[in-house]
Amino acid sequence: MDAKSLERLELNKILSAAAKYCVTSRGGDVLRSVAPSDDLAEVRERLKTTAECDVLLFSYGIGKIEYFDDVTGLLKRAEKGSALSCGELLKVCALMRSARSAFVSISGTGEDIVNMRRLSDRLYFDSALEEDITEKILSDDALADTASDALYTVRLKIRSLNERIRAKLSEYITGKNAEYLQDSIVTIRNDRYVIPVKAEHKNRVRGLVHDRSQTGATFFIEPEYVLELNNELMALTCDEREEEERILKSLSARVGALAPRLIADEEALFEIDACLARAEYAYGLKCVCPEVNARGEISIIKGRHPLIDKNTVVPVTIELGKDYNFLLLSGANTGGKTVTLKMCGLFCLMAACGLFVPAADGTRLSVFSNVFCDVGDSQSIEESLSTFSSHITNVISICREADGKSLVLIDELGGGTNPDEGQAIAKAVVKRLIDCGARGIVTTHFTPLKEFAYTVKGMENASMEFDSATLKPLYSIKIGMPGASNALLIARRLGMDEDMLADATGYLSDDARKLENVVRRAEESRVAADEKLREAEAAQKEWSEKLKEVDAQIAALGAEREKLNRNARLESRRIVAQRAARAEELLGEMEDIFRKEEVTEADLIRARTLKNKIDDAVFDEEQGAKRSTSYLPATADTLKVGLSVYVKKTQSKGIVTSYYKGKDEAEVTCGSIKMHCKLSDLMITGEPEKVEKKVKFVKKLPKDAPLLEINVLGMTVPEAIYEVDNFIDRAVTDNLEEIKVIHGVGTGKLKNAIRQHLLRHKNVESFRAGKYGEGEQGVTFIRLK
């Protein structure tokens, strides 16, 4: 790959940004040093590895590798026989622990993890050595007492001896010689216990002088009666040191024997760290895994340049390499041409490095053997090159090296010199690159070059859209149409005087003015047409969603209707079975009567009574369906206190006890229940005395025709709770599955009280509010256990 082109496309910044997600510094170095591959199989394997890391991190929930220091130097020292310190052995232990953790985590995944498992299989770890180092070494400078039996014995003796020496010195401090001491303390000088003695009394204390204070007022003397104990302590301390060195040397020897494998572990872990960082970087930028090919086809869908803030960047869609190999990109300044050009090349390089790209699903990229880029001002003072000279030098080099497997990206081809000569050179360069089979993008403001693109096979015009109304770029690409530069319009927006703009317009050639006007008008028409298309698509989407909602409601209503029909069928079968069982029971009793050898008058009366019961049951069944049709609707003129009425909602009869004309409501007493009903819910059945004959008939309803709902509108909370409890008990007795309570909405007090009561009811399995068309929050459906 061309190194200068990689730098111009800023691949190094992308790799550095991804390397920040690495746990180890060496892992970051591995990621920053990745070079784009031109081998399709290798690129696919790299992308597959990144995809596996994404699954490991965000599906399996596996953490990143555990941190460890670079211990290559320590391992080489141990391999040569050098003894490592406690801190150095702990660093080696951290490496082995990281290797073990990574191996166990990755090897425990499914069959979809292949490349990362192959990488983790390279890891080696010694659990026994890791455990020994962890147990024997407490910190960077301390070994555990239990590191060996000998060390434990020595340290036990040292502690015991320390206590004896302190005890003896304490006797001296608290005894008659205490007046000779500067302080009543025991201290240590040269690893030996001493006491601070006043200078004037130093000859009164027999022993060795080890030190003197800076003022000379205190001498630190080791009394002779603890001299032997201190000597013994020094000997034990030497034994302790030798045992510690022996333990560290033993552990170091074991580490040295494994040094080559542990160094290989480091390299494998650094590579795993880099792979996981690639996946985490992709997750942070909301990247996708692109499809890669070697045919030179590029299709970027809603691509975002990764170095621009994701909250401000405008996604761009661009295609190349299928129907045409070269794209001539034109349009207004600051419209995003250069960013789009660099994004196209950068995405191909990112994929070649195994990185996902910030775009939408379906993005396709190609693997190129080389990517050439000439972007920006490359003027060189040291080499005495002007902007144009540097530009042409790069273009010449590109033309010489480009081939059918190259991607060429040139910004403002032929710029920086005489426009006529510049556009002529641009035409020749583009013709050469197309002939050699290269793919690429060229940006330009040259009108002749836009015309040239229509005449050359394999090249297509494209434009960055520009809103002429607001004089602002739209950062979107349209293939097949060149874009106007809109330099004069932009100059007006930036504040150029009108007289200067008029002069500039006059200096334009007629052909240039006409072409710019045609291109601008075509662009405005296209933008307007696209806006209409977007509006039409939005309207179609909105109506499609509404149609789905309607279909869903129809399906829900159909399901509810089927449910009601099913419940009705079940209830009908239950009633028929109940009536049939009752009829069979009565017939059985009649048969028993007539089986007697002698039938008495009483038996005949009994038989006649049984027959009347059967007739009553049939009468109740037939009249239950007709009763509401034989009644008169209640109106303000016909309804009076004392009339017998039929309540449609509760399917019961009652007597009007009060009538409220202003509200069109009446208070009806049904047995022991009082309820407030709308006139539309009442049917007049006759005078009160007629009701008395049918009271028994009404009372049979709960037994023979179970009620499916109850109306508690207008009741107080205690009254409503009482009626609901009775209603639930009757429903349980009648084997009903679901019942309904009508309580209305109002202030919500009655509704909330009933639902709170249902939460604790032993016969209630669940309850819900009504759906659309069922009464919604004004009713509660109860499913019984």
The pLDDT value recorded for residue 689 is: 42
**Alpha carbon distance 23, 338 (integer Å):** 35
- Hey, is 53 helix, strand or coil? helix
Q: What is the DSSP letter of 408?
A: E
Mean local confidence (pLDDT), 400-407: 91
Q: According to the model, what pLDDT value does residue 35 have? A: 93
Q: Residue 249 pLDDT > 70, yes or no?
A: yes
Bridging pattern class, strands 665-670 and 218-223:
unpaired
pLDDT > 90: percent of the chain: 32
Tell me the pLDDT tens digit for each residue of 628-667.
Answer: 445 788 888 788 888 888 887 777 788 888 887 777 888 8
What pLDDT is stored for residue 287 in this prediction? 94
Q: What is the pLDDT of residue 130?
A: 92
H or E stretch covering 320: strand 316-320
Q: What is the DSSP letter of 295?
A: S
Evaluate if residue 734 carries a pLDDT over 70.
yes
Indicate whether 354 pLDDT > 50: yes
- The predicted pLDDT at position 51 comes to 95
Q: What is the pLDDT of residues 545-591, one digit of tens each?
A: 888 888 888 888 888 888 887 777 777 777 777 777 777 777 887 77
**Residue 221: per-residue pLDDT:** 80
Alpha helical stretches, state H, 108-184: 115-120, 127-136, 149-174
**What pLDDT score does 692 carry?**
40
pLDDT of residue 520: 59
DSSP 774: T
Higher pLDDT, 273 or 773: 273
Residue 746 has a CB neighbour count (10 Å cut-off) of 11
pLDDT tens digits, residue range 92-149? 999 999 999 999 999 888 888 999 999 999 999 899 999 999 999 999 989 999 999 9
Residue 224 predicted with pLDDT over 70: yes
Q: Residues 141-170: what's their mean pLDDT? A: 89
Confidence of residue 382 (pLDDT cuts 50, 70, 90): very low
Weakest mean pLDDT among 269-278, 490-499, 730-739 = 490-499
Single-letter code of the amino acid located at 577? A
pLDDT at 474: 64
Please say whether the beta carbons of 423 and 414 come within 8 A.
Answer: yes
Q: State residue 353's pLDDT score.
A: 94
**Separation CA 311–CA 316 (nearest Å):** 14
pLDDT at 280: 94
Assign residue 325 a region: left if phi > 0, alpha if psi is -120 to 50, beta otherwise?
A: alpha
Q: Binning pLDDT at 50, 70 and 90, where does residue 170 land?
A: confident
Give the tens place of pLDDT for each residue, 461-501.
888 776 655 556 666 777 777 765 556 666 666 677 777 76
Is the per-residue pLDDT at 202 higher than 90? no
Beta bridge partners of 221: 195, 209
* Mean pLDDT across 497-524: 62
CA distance 557 to 552: 9
Q: Residue 210 class from Cβ within 10 Å (0-12 exposed, 13-18 middle, 19+ buried)?
A: middle
Q: Which pLDDT value is given to residue 618?
A: 53
pLDDT of residue 535: 84
Percentages (nearest 5) of helix, strand, coil residues in the chain: 55, 20, 30
HEC string of 557-602 equals HHHHHHHHHHHHHHHHHHHHHHHHHHHHHHHHHHHHHHCCCCCCHH
Lowest mean pLDDT among 104-118, 128-142, 402-416, 670-684: 670-684
For 25-34, 96-105, 112-121, 738-747, which range has the lowest pLDDT when averaged over its residues?
Answer: 738-747
For residue 527, the model assigns a pLDDT of: 66
Helices and strands in the chain: count of H runs, count of E runs: 23, 26
Instruction: Identify the pLDDT of residue 174.
Output: 72
At 699 the pLDDT is 35
Measure the CA–CA gap between 544 and 496, rounded to whole angstroms.
49
Query: What is the chain's mean pLDDT, rounded?
Result: 82
- Residue 278 contacts residue 53 (beta carbons within 8 Å): yes
Q: Which pLDDT belongs to residue 681?
A: 83
SS3 assignment, position 164: helix
Rounded distance, CA 446 to CA 452, Å? Answer: 10
Tell me if residue 759 falls in helix, strand or coil: helix
d(CA 234, CA 189): 12
- Quote the CA–CA distance of 183 and 584 in Å, as a whole number: 116
- C-alpha distances in Å from residue 542, one per residue of 437, 530, 546: 46, 18, 6
pTM (predicted TM-score) = 0.61
Are the C-beta atoms of 660 and 645 separated by less than 8 Å?
Answer: no
Q: pLDDT value at position 492?
A: 65
Contacts of 131 (CB under 8 A, 6+ apart): none
Average pLDDT of the residues in 724-739: 85
pLDDT in tens, 322-338: 888 999 888 766 667 88
* Higher-pLDDT residue of 673, 99: 99
* pLDDT exceeds cutoff 50 at 526: yes
Q: Residue 346 has what pLDDT? A: 94
Determine the Cα–Cα distance for residues 345 and 6; give it in Å rounded to an integer: 9
Answer yes or no: is pLDDT of 607 > 90.
no
